[in-house]
Amino acid sequence: MGLDIRLPIGLLFTVLGLLLLGYGAVSDPAIYQPSLGINVNLGWGAVMAAFGITMFLFGRRRKT
Amino acid sequence: MPHIAIHAIDYAILIVYFGFVLGIGWALKRYMKTSTDFFLTGRSMPAWVSGLAFISANLGAQEVIGMGASGAKYGIATSHFYWVGAIPAMVFVGVFMMPFYYGSRARSVPEYLKLRYDEKTRGLNAISFAVMTIFSSGISLYAMGLLLETLLGWSFSFSVLISAVIVLCYTFLGGLTSAIYNEVLQFFLIVMGFLPLVGLGLKDAGGWSGLQQRLHLVATARGFAPDAFSRSWAYLGSPSANPLGVEWFGMVMGLGFVLSFGYWCTDFLVVQSALASHNMSAARRTPLIAAIPKMFFPFLVILPGMIAIALTQQSGQTGFALPVKPDGTLNYDMTIPMMLGHYFPSGMLGIGLAALMASFMSGMAGNVTAFNTVWTYDIYQAYIRRHERDEHYLWVGRMTTIFGICASILAAYLATQFNNIMDMLQLVFAFVNAPLFATFLLGMFWKRSTGHGAFTGLLAGTAAAATHHGLTLPAHAVAGIKGGWLGGLFGVLHHYPSEMAQNFWTAIYAWTTCFLVTLLVSLATKPRPEKELVGLVYSLTEQPSEEHLPWYQRPATLGVIVLAMTLVLNIIFW
């Protein structure tokens, strides 16, 4: 099939990861009381963005 | 139950995700030129993509919500549904059965039955499967509508219609390719959305050892040995000693053999993604690759359930409690959604909700594409209009998508009106499905089995399942939908310790009856000439050569590795 699936997966997770990361950076620390005081948005947003970028790069590399 | 509040960031995440889902359908539209592109992705998928789609199609509502609920209800023993009830069958279909499915160039599971047996066996399977997929997809929609209503206060109709329209758009545009691509996307989203939940929950419960101690209280409060919720095999000697209420033989034979092989090896819902692979070796590796994440899914879906019940037991200290239903029992179905609401702040909550909706939609989309293929190839092309041009069938496939989605919506509303009708239908399907694996097993490995044998065997197996169900009852149940409805005529012959034990034994009786009747009728009827069965039966088919493949691509080697890993997991949680 003409579209390598790693490209949309990579893009989606990069966008979602950056959204979370950005929100985690500016949000009020009080909202992290339910998550045991851990800013999961910041940490997990970074993980998701890193996963997204890796997927995207793999998808790109095979194409060329 | 108070609704969970969601904020702008969560809506933004949901909108981005659904935008991508639709975008994929749109981007794939231009590749859909022939009916094979639409129904079988033009047989172009690499093994890892079809493998992830293979488990994702099964990752519907029943999986995430149901297994989380079972984790809370039964503890780690729920893992039998994976390590006994899925992995061995997935290895079997990849190593032994895929050469016939893929090699025969059948476009669907019913079509294989037509090639191997005859038209009537195919017709019986195709029609029951088509009806069943519509109702499963309707049940998915219904469960999601209900969940979002309870959790977020969204209107039932809004949730049902919006998700149906989204699934319609992407399957209409891109067919099975679009469904598979989105299933892979959903797979990663579900993993990403639930992993932090497991991490936070486990940390809150005091790690694995802390969780075990808390589960001791849960188990003793229910009258079991202290570690009955944290050990999977130790108490299976007697049904009254474990929360499942089953003994090991019924579990291994009923779940591990009949139900599991019947589902993973013959259900076109999962098999369709393997048929979409780009070559035989990839088709055989599809279920084997799928088995690897599958064996770790208990940690993703069952563990949160176990954490939830442990926290509920000490809700005074922990501040977490599962909601209670009007009849006083715990509402286990809310386990995973409650955990999401309890631990996730805004932002992460959006990801969790997107993952939850993704799980419902991937289950529904898989059903819709399977319905499309079976309807178009096995019913429409076989019985209604035989010799049309390919474009005609592509058009029929697209129209069938619309019809399938509308019928699912109807089924969802039907479920709101008559809950019992849905239970009843599911029961009837269980009767139809239980014997199926005997038909395939004999068809693939015994060249003497005949079409008349297969057809009568299937009918007899279904009748045996219904009779067994009608003559037995689980403990504490009244005759009716739970069984015993033939009791008026013959009396209830046996009481099972639990509903699950009754289900497993219904399956065992159905399978055995189908096997024996197929065998006897086949011996009494005329076999097909051997040359017609080449490529369809094991002893008459040359085995695909694996010599040229590196070891990690050989199905048999992969199968052994997968089984060994599963064995280790069983031993760790013995």
Residue B499: count of CB within 10 angstroms of its CB: 17
Q: How confident is the model at residue B61 (pLDDT cuts 50, 70, 90)?
A: low
Residue B543's contacts (CB-CB under 8 Å, 6 or more residues apart) are: B99
Q: What is the pLDDT of residues B99-157, one digit of tens each?
A: 888 888 888 999 999 999 999 999 999 999 998 889 888 888 888 888 888 888 899 99
3-state secondary structure of B496: strand
| Residues of chain B contacting residue A44, judged by C-beta atoms under 8 Å apart | 192, 196, 348, 351
Cα separation, B569 vs B301, whole angstroms: 16
State the DSSP H helix or E strand holding residue B472, giving kind and residue range, or none if neither. strand B472-474
CA distance to partner chain B, nearest, from residue A57 (Å): 16
Nearest to B196 among A8, A23, A40 (CB): A40
> What percent of chain B is predicted at pLDDT more than 90?
39
Supply the ipTM of this predicted assembly: 0.95
Q: Which two tokens stand for residue B338?
A: 């409650």
Q: Do B181 and A11 touch (CB under 8 A)?
A: no
Q: What is the pLDDT of residues B224-267, one digit of tens each?
A: 888 888 888 888 888 888 888 888 998 899 888 898 898 888 88
State CA B568 to chain mean position distance.
Answer: 24
Q: What is the pLDDT of residues B395-408, one digit of tens each?
A: 998 999 999 999 99
Inter-CA distances, B565 with B83, B286, B291, B570, B572, Å = 10, 17, 10, 9, 11
Cα separation, B379 vs B119, whole angstroms: 11
Name the residue among B294, B73, B293, B314 with its Cα closest to residue B211. Answer: B314
Cα separation, B126 vs B572, whole angstroms: 42
CA distance to partner chain A, nearest, from residue B20 (Å): 7
Please give the mean pLDDT across all residues of chain B: 88
Torsional class of B496: left (φ above 0), alpha (ψ -120 to 50), beta (otherwise): beta
CA distance to partner chain B, nearest, from residue A48 (Å): 7
Amino acid symbol at B7: H
Q: Do A24 and B347 touch (CB under 8 A)?
A: yes
Q: Do B192 and A13 touch (CB under 8 A)?
A: yes
Pairing type for strands B494-496 and B472-474 reads parallel
| B350 to chain A: closest CA residue | A20
Q: What is the pLDDT of residues A6-33, one digit of tens each?
A: 999 999 999 999 999 999 998 888 889 8
State CA B46 to chain mean position distance.
Answer: 22
* Mean predicted confidence (pLDDT) in B353-374: 88
Burial code (b: 16+ CB inside 10 Å, e: under 16) for B221-241 equals eeebeebbbbbbbebbeebeb
| A41 to chain B: closest CA residue | B348
| Residues of chain B contacting residue A20, judged by C-beta atoms under 8 Å apart | 13, 347-348, 351
Inter-CA distances, B430 with B121, B248, B259, Å = 18, 21, 9
* Mean predicted confidence (pLDDT) in B302-324: 87
* Mean predicted confidence (pLDDT) in B318-339: 85
3-state secondary structure of B132: helix
Cα separation, A53 vs B396, whole angstroms: 39
Residue A10 forms contact with B (CB below 8 Å)? no
Strand partners, B480: B483
Q: What is the pLDDT of residues B333-350, one digit of tens each?
A: 888 988 998 999 999 999
Q: Do B347 and A51 touch (CB under 8 A)?
A: no
User: Residue B179 has what pLDDT?
Assistant: 86
User: Residue B415 has what pLDDT?
Assistant: 84
Name the residue among B267, B268, B257 with its Cα closest to residue B507. Answer: B257
| Residues of chain B contacting residue A27, judged by C-beta atoms under 8 Å apart | 345-347
Amino acid symbol at B378: D
Does pLDDT of B422 surpass 70? no
Cβ pair B64, B314 in contact under 8 A: no
Stronger pLDDT, B363 or B563, i.e. the higher one: B563
Q: Which stretches of chain B sit within 8 Å of chain A by CB?
A: 9, 12-13, 16-17, 20, 23-24, 27-28, 31, 41-42, 44-45, 49, 177, 181, 184-185, 188, 192, 196, 200, 203-204, 342-348, 351
Does pLDDT of B497 surpass 80? yes
Q: Which two tokens stand for residue B323?
A: 């909601």
Torsional class of B137: left (φ above 0), alpha (ψ -120 to 50), beta (otherwise): alpha
Does pLDDT of B450 surpass 60? yes
Cα separation, B149 vs B143, whole angstroms: 10
Does pLDDT of B286 surpass 70? yes
pTM: 0.91
* Lowest-confidence region among B50-54, B58-62, B447-451, B548-552: B58-62
Alpha helices, DSSP H, located in chain A: 6-26, 40-63
Cβ pair B61, B144 in contact under 8 A: yes
Taken in order B424, B430, B431, B432, is the CA torsion positive or negative?
Answer: positive
User: Residue B188 has what pLDDT?
Assistant: 94
| A4 to chain B: closest CA residue | B181
Q: Do A44 and B343 touch (CB under 8 A)?
A: no
User: Residue A64 has what pLDDT?
Assistant: 46
* Interior angle at CA B62, CA B399 and CA B268, nearest 5: 45
Compute chain A's Rg from CA coordinates. 15
Does pLDDT of B62 surpass 80? no
Length of chain A: 64
Q: DSSP letter for A34, please.
A: T
The count of CB pairs under 8 A between chains A and B is 90
Q: Do A23 and B200 touch (CB under 8 A)?
A: no
Name the residue among B173, B83, B85, B159 with its Cα closest to residue B356. Answer: B159
Q: What is the pLDDT of residues B178-233, one digit of tens each?
A: 888 888 999 999 999 999 999 999 999 989 999 999 998 888 888 888 888 888 88
- Which A residues, 20 through 39, put their C-beta within 8 Å of a C-beta on chain B? 20, 23-24, 27, 31-32, 34-36, 38
Amino acid symbol at B47: A
Q: Do B185 and A34 touch (CB under 8 A)?
A: no
Taken in order B364, B366, B368, B370, is the CA torsion positive or negative?
Answer: negative
